[in-house]
Amino acid sequence: MNKYDTAVIGGGLAGFIAAINLAQSGQSVALIEKSGRWGGRAITNKKNQVYLNLGGHALYQAGEAYSILRKLGVSLEGGKPASHIHAIWNNQTIPLLAGPASLLSSKLLTWSNKINLMRLMMKIKQLNPNQMGPGSLRAWAEQEIKDPMVRHIFYALCRTSTYTHAPDYQLAGPALAQVQRGLQGVLYLNNGWQTIIDQLKVKAEQAGVHLVSGKSVTEIVHEQGKVRSVALEGGDSLEVHHVVSTASPSEVYKLVRGAEHTELKHWKEKARPVVAACLDVGLKKLPNTEREFAIGLDQPVFISHHTAHARLSDDGSRVVHLVKYIGQEESDPVTDEQILTAAMSLIQPGWEQEVVTQRFLPRITVTHNYHHVGQPESFAGPAVPEIQGLFVAGDWVSQGEMLADASAASAVRAAQSIIQKSQQDLVEISARR
């Protein structure tokens, strides 16, 4: 069979969610993934009994991905990290928060810091991010937070919630919306995010999606302003009415002949990816079990002990994820790795003797775009206006959401646009008869 209603490009979260929604509505769907493995950036690698996501992953419980996955019947089991937070400041680790009243005893903060921080947290919880206008995070912080130490904590909180380290460019509204989501709780998943992908794959098969892996789509063929087919590596081609691409803005741009005359050009040029350096570590045991969560205040790093709350090994090994947020400045992988190992040694002295597995990801793309100054919150897609039948989804196709929430929400929007259009077409055909 080489004719389908829709081809979905990319077998990550967005691709699976779009494909399942379309197939459940009665469409014939082919889902094509270039890698030999399903999952995109949501894969989990298992080595020496330890499950490692690609960098620390947390599912926002108030976010769209959580509710969309639950609606599809995906079981999401794991645990919520507690609010036991250490700060890294001046190359020292200092307890910041160990429970509701513990901020008051933190030695890092003066009385006035503590009061200012509590006021700020109240303000963040209550504000309406949709009414914040197009200003940067820096502009908002300079205006609202006079206390320099509280500002350091604020930026660290924003980095942790959004993975983004660009306060001069990041829009305050969407960043604070994500902080609010984070404050409502996140989930670390047992056995990693691969469990989401594995369940989505079963659901796609049950819904009748035709799964093709290990093959790239080499072209989205369109004629007279309409999608006609997708060409696959090796010379095959699938005749289709619609395409949902979940590839990055630059990848989808390359797949479309004449893309320079479409919005795809604008989206590719305006997208600002977020990249990070990640150190993912499996340890026989944790040298210091008290320290499960540390945020850098004077350096953009974050450390989290995931096995404190989720099952991520078969033999009791402990998993710690470290991130260095990469901003606009030049970054050097060797230095980034040194910064992360030094941070680990600060929090978990002697950790090197306990290593079961360890992986450094020097510059991984966390999201293909974040909401930045000069770009509206609703920026791309789902439809590519110049080519009927062509849709985009993924973490850069956002209407205010971020990260996996944007992937999931945009996938549903793309699928719904196709379903609605197909229903309209049917009504028109039957009216003509």
Ligand X SMILES: Cc1cc2nc3c(=O)[nH]c(=O)nc-3n(C[C@H](O)[C@H](O)[C@H](O)COP(=O)(O)OP(=O)(O)OC[C@H]3O[C@@H](n4cnc5c(N)ncnc54)[C@H](O)[C@@H]3O)c2cc1C
Q: Which residues here bind ligand X, judged by CB under 6 A?
A: 9-15, 32-35, 40-42, 54-55, 57-58, 65, 216-217, 246-247, 251, 255, 276, 278, 364, 366-367, 394-395, 403-405, 407
Q: Which residue is nearest to ligand X (CB)?
A: 40
Query: Smaller CB distance to ligand X: residue 250 or 288?
Result: 250
Q: How far is the CB of 40 from ligand X (least distance, A)?
A: 2
Q: How far is the CB of 240 from ligand X (least distance, A)?
A: 14
Query: Smaller CB distance to ligand X: residue 141 or 278?
Result: 278
**308 vs 86, 189, 295, 335, CA distance in Å?**
15, 12, 16, 29
Query: Smaller CB distance to ligand X: residue 117 or 179?
Result: 179
289: three-class secondary structure by DSSP: coil
State the amino acid at position 185 in one-letter form: G
Question: Could you tell me if 81 and 188 are in contact, meaning their C-beta atoms sit under 8 angstroms apart?
Answer: yes
Query: Smaller CB distance to ligand X: residue 5 or 33?
Result: 33
> How many Cα atoms sit within 13 Å of 364 on the Cβ side?
19
If residue 416 lies in a helix (H) or strand (E), which one and from where to where?
helix 403-432
Single out the residue of 396, 422, 416 nearest to residue 10, CA to CA.
396
56: three-class secondary structure by DSSP: coil
Q: How far is the CB of 238 from ligand X (least distance, A)?
A: 12
201: three-class secondary structure by DSSP: helix
Question: Could you tell me if 409 and 64 are in contact, meaning their C-beta atoms sit under 8 angstroms apart?
Answer: yes
Query: Smaller CB distance to ligand X: residue 389 or 394?
Result: 394
Query: Smaller CB distance to ligand X: residue 20 or 247?
Result: 247
Q: How far is the CB of 259 from ligand X (least distance, A)?
A: 13
Question: Could you tell me if 392 and 414 are in contact, meaning their C-beta atoms sit under 8 angstroms apart?
Answer: yes
| CA–CA gap between residue 150 and residue 347 (Å, rounded) | 22
Q: How far is the CB of 307 from ligand X (least distance, A)?
A: 16
Burial bucket for residue 334 (CB in 10 Å: 0-12, 13-18, 19+): exposed
| CA–CA gap between residue 163 and residue 410 (Å, rounded) | 19
Q: How far is the CB of 116 from ligand X (least distance, A)?
A: 28
Which are the contacts of 346, defined by CB distance < 8 A and separation ≥ 6? Answer: 88, 91, 92, 93
**143 vs 140, 148, 151, 379, CA distance in Å?**
5, 12, 11, 27
Q: How far is the CB of 386 from ligand X (least distance, A)?
A: 20
Query: Smaller CB distance to ligand X: residue 23 or 120?
Result: 23
What are the b/e assignments for 353-369, b being 16+ CB within 10 Å? Answer: ebebbbeebbeeebbbb
Q: How far is the CB of 407 from ligand X (least distance, A)?
A: 3
Q: How far is the CB of 402 from ligand X (least distance, A)?
A: 7
Residue located via tokens 């063929």: 221
| CA–CA gap between residue 398 and residue 407 (Å, rounded) | 8
Residue located via tokens 């002990």: 305
Query: Smaller CB distance to ligand X: residue 176 or 276?
Result: 276
Query: Smaller CB distance to ligand X: residue 120 or 281?
Result: 281
Query: Smaller CB distance to ligand X: residue 55 or 381?
Result: 55
Q: How far is the CB of 39 from ligand X (least distance, A)?
A: 7
Query: Smaller CB distance to ligand X: residue 35 or 331?
Result: 35
| CA–CA gap between residue 351 and residue 287 (Å, rounded) | 6
Q: How far is the CB of 325 from ligand X (least distance, A)?
A: 10
